[in-house]
Structures are given as C-alpha cells and as structure tokens.
Amino acid sequence: MHLALIPSDAGTLATYLWAFGQGVLVDLTPCVYPLIPITVSVFGAKGVSRGRALSLASVYVLGMALLYTGLGIAVSLTGAAFGTWLAEPVVVLPIAALLLALSASMFGAFELQLPVSWQNRLSTVGGGGFAGAFLMGLVSGLISAPCTGPVLLSLLAFIAKAAAEGSGMTYGASLLFVYALGMGTLFFAVALGASLLRPGPWMEHVKSVFGILLLVMTYWFLRPLAPALEDFVLDPAWGLWAGIAIAVAGILAGAVHLSFHTPALAVRVRKAVAVAVTTVGLVVVLNNVLYVPPMAWTRVETVDDLAGAVDRAVAEQRPILVDFAATWCLPCKELEVGTFHDPAVERELATRFELIKVDVTDPNDDQALIQAAFDSHTLPSVVLYHPSPKLRDAVAGLSDGASVPPPAARITTLVGPDEFLAILKTVD
C-alpha cells in the first residue's frame, strides 16, 4: 500500500492540501491564534458589512501571500543549484541540524524572534483600511516568527529540495501562496463574524505536533545518506499499519498533550519517550510508504555494463528502458513506486523489456558519460528504445565519442500508470 505522506509531485492536489493544512495549523499556535480577533479589529473588518469585511480580510491575506510567495520564488531559484549535493553529508547534515533546532523550538527549548526594537517597529505598521490591512499582512509573518518561523523554514527546505529535483519557480511560489491562504482561513472566518474557541493549552499541543513533524522531516532529509536508513522497513504487507499503531501509541502516551515545561521530571521524561515513540512510528510509516519492491533491473556502473545489457536486448529483440535516478530524487521514487509497480505496468515491463537502471546520485566518470549521452541531466528521466543494432553500436562506441540515436520515447515528468502503459505499448 502506498500513500503520499510527504508529497513529492509538484502537480498533485495532495501537495497543496498539505501546504494549506500547514497554514491552518499555524493559525492555531499561541503566537497567532490569540491575535486573530485583535488583528481583524485593527484593520477594520469588525462591525462593517460582510462585503467590506471580506474585502479587508482578502487584502490582509494578500499581503501575507506576497511575502511568502516571494520567499518561495527566491528559494526555488536558488534551490535548483544543489541537486546532486543533497546526497552529500556536508550539505544534508547542516540542514538536518537546522530542522532539529526548529523542532526543539516548537517544544519550547527556545524561541525564534526578531530583536525587540524591530518587533515594536513592525507592530506599528498598518492600521485601518485597505492599505493598513495589506501592510499588516505583509509583516505578520515576521511578527509571529516564534511559531511561524520553524514551519516556514521547513517548507522552504522542502521547496529547495523539490527545486533540486526539477520543479520550477511556479511550484515554490504557488505552494507558499496556498500556505498563506491556509493561514488566512481563520482571519476570513473572524472577519465574517465567526467566534473562535478560547485560547488554552491546546495551542501548545499544536506546537508539539509541528515539533514531531519536523523530526520526521529531519529523517526524510537524512535518508539518502545511508541505505540502512532507507531500508528500515517492516514487512510491506503490514508495516504501514504497524507504524501507524506505534505512532498512535506514542500520542496516547503523551507526545502531544504532555509538556516539557512542567517541573515534574517524570512527566518530562514520559513526554520525551512518547515523542521518540511517535517519531519512530511515523518513520516506519514513511519508509513503508516510500518502499520500492525489487524489480529485475540491470544496474549500470560502467559503459561496458550498459553495452552488455543493450547487446543482450538486441539479441533477444527486447525493447529497452533506461531509468536515470538518484537517491535524492523523490519524483524518481514516486514514479517507480506508483507507476512502475502498478500491476499492469509491472507485468508489461517484466515480460517484454530489458530494464536498465543508472544511479546518478554520485556518478562515476562512466555514469556521467552515459547520462550526458542520453541527455538525461534533469531527473526524472526515462528513455525507451527499440532493440536496434544502431543503438547497440552507438553504446559500444560511447567511450570513443559515438552519439546515441534519439529514443523512441522519453519521460521527464511523473506520469500515471495508464499513460505510462500506453507509451510502453508504442515501443517494440
């Protein structure tokens, strides 16, 4: 069973629902929730017509969206530069350390906030009317940084990784725009007359939820560094449900509702153990979700490996599929899990195709040469060939500068099983 716990496909609705939900949850934290009615009153959306209230709230949310969308664009443009670095400890370990620190902040170890003088100045920005609402929205994310900062930074890290895997600037911008809409949900509700629940300890519970999710995200970034982390999978038949059960047990034991701020040492220890249990359960869920059942791939390390596989395919008149992938490329894994392992696709691949895998996580000279020859620098990249002697001869001469003929088909985006199967049927 495969689910999208951490979305990897820039085009799926689940990805945007995930970002929207993050925004809604941020509204429920102590830094934001108690200020929502006050903020709505300041920019003048109380005691006016519903049309004006909705307009003022929309302008406020637009200010938030402009700030976050700009950050999404900036990170998308810079994140694309370190794709292959995401398999390097020197890059991933500092990111993991940052995420751990952000998780600790959500559990109350410290607070991320601007200097007091900056906060005082920012708190005076805006006022009543449309211009005031827009300016208040524009600086709101900075004022509420103790709660919003860790969530925002984790989203930016996710966008940077997605950019490294080939997503465009529009993805980063739209993801954070949707996140801003999620944050704006309660502002719209209050402006239109809704009453909120009384602030209370439950807001700290929301922060604990974010703290646990940041721990899981830390693990997600670390997975490409070691096969042992990726292979930490229980039996695929029941491992997902076991992970869910472990996570639920941790939550019931106090991962969310207990507090580290209590003077009772026993409670703090119980909270820490419960958080650890919940995190382990979610890690098991994540690994079972991302688990890729083995297929009969010929894994290519050298040009000679590739030449041997192609020669065999031509001799047996089997069409050829070459899949370029990397441990940091989540769309590649999603393609393999959700498309290659669809029963109909898997049957077609197993019975007709020569399957060749080129892992370019840290390519050697031959793998880099193969990747360039097949014009597969951007991942995912799947190329399909008819079993022709021309291809065989070209591959045999790669080291001497031979050119590979154009493929019968090329896939560079995440496609569903039906579309992929239709493409496979065209190659014989």
- What would the pLDDT profile of 1-27 be if each residue is shown by its tens digit? 333 334 444 446 778 898 999 999 999
Pairing of β 381-385 and β 320-325: antiparallel
Shared domain check, 326 and 191: no
Q: Among the three residues 199, 225, 251, which one is the final residue of a domain in this structure? A: 225
In a domain, 82, yes or no: yes
Confidence at residue 196, expressed as pLDDT on a 0 to 100 scale: 84
Shared domain check, 176 and 73: yes
In a domain, 34, yes or no: yes
In a domain, 309, yes or no: yes
Comparing CA positions, the residue from 179, 166, 168, 6 lying closest to residue 86 is: 166
Structure tokens at 243: 């992970």
Shared domain check, 85 and 218: yes
Q: Exposure of 400 by Cβ count < 10 A (0-12 exposed, 13-18 middle, 19+ buried)?
A: exposed
Q: How far apart (Å, rounded) are the C-alpha atoms in residues 286 and 100?
A: 18
Count of helices and strands (H, E) across the chain: 18, 5
| % of residues, the chain, pLDDT over 70 | 88
Confidence at residue 80, expressed as pLDDT on a 0 to 100 scale: 57
**Residue-wise pLDDT tens digits, 230-280:** 777 777 778 889 999 999 999 999 999 999 999 999 999 999 999 999 999
Residue 84 pLDDT grade (very low, low, confident, very high; cuts 50, 70, 90): low
**Number of domains composing the chain:** 2
Indicate the pTM of the whole model: 0.69
Structure tokens at 264: 């009772």
Shared domain check, 51 and 172: yes
Which is more confident, 335 or 257?
257
Q: Exposure of 157 by Cβ count < 10 A (0-12 exposed, 13-18 middle, 19+ buried)?
A: buried
Shared domain check, 304 and 210: no
In a domain, 240, yes or no: no
Confidence at residue 3, expressed as pLDDT on a 0 to 100 scale: 35
Q: How far apart (Å, rounded) are the C-alpha atoms in residues 418 and 345?
A: 8
Shared domain check, 208 and 63: yes
Confidence at residue 125, expressed as pLDDT on a 0 to 100 scale: 58
Output the average pLDDT for the chain.
Answer: 85
Domain that includes residue 319, residue range: 298-425
Shared domain check, 196 and 322: no
Residue 226 pLDDT grade (very low, low, confident, very high; cuts 50, 70, 90): confident
Q: How far apart (Å, rounded) are the C-alpha atoms in residues 63 and 53?
A: 16
In a domain, 143, yes or no: yes
In a domain, 172, yes or no: yes
Q: Exposure of 414 by Cβ count < 10 A (0-12 exposed, 13-18 middle, 19+ buried)?
A: buried
Q: Give the CATH number of the domain where residue 357 resides.
A: 3.40.30.10
Q: Provide the residue count of the chain.
A: 428
In a domain, 268, yes or no: no
Contact residues for 121 (Cβ-Cβ < 8 A; gap 6+): none
Which helix (H) or strand (E) element contains residue 324? strand 320-325
Shared domain check, 69 and 209: yes
Confidence at residue 321, expressed as pLDDT on a 0 to 100 scale: 96
Shared domain check, 144 and 48: yes
Confidence at residue 4, expressed as pLDDT on a 0 to 100 scale: 34
Least confident of 295-304, 308-317, 325-334, 389-398: 325-334
In a domain, 248, yes or no: no
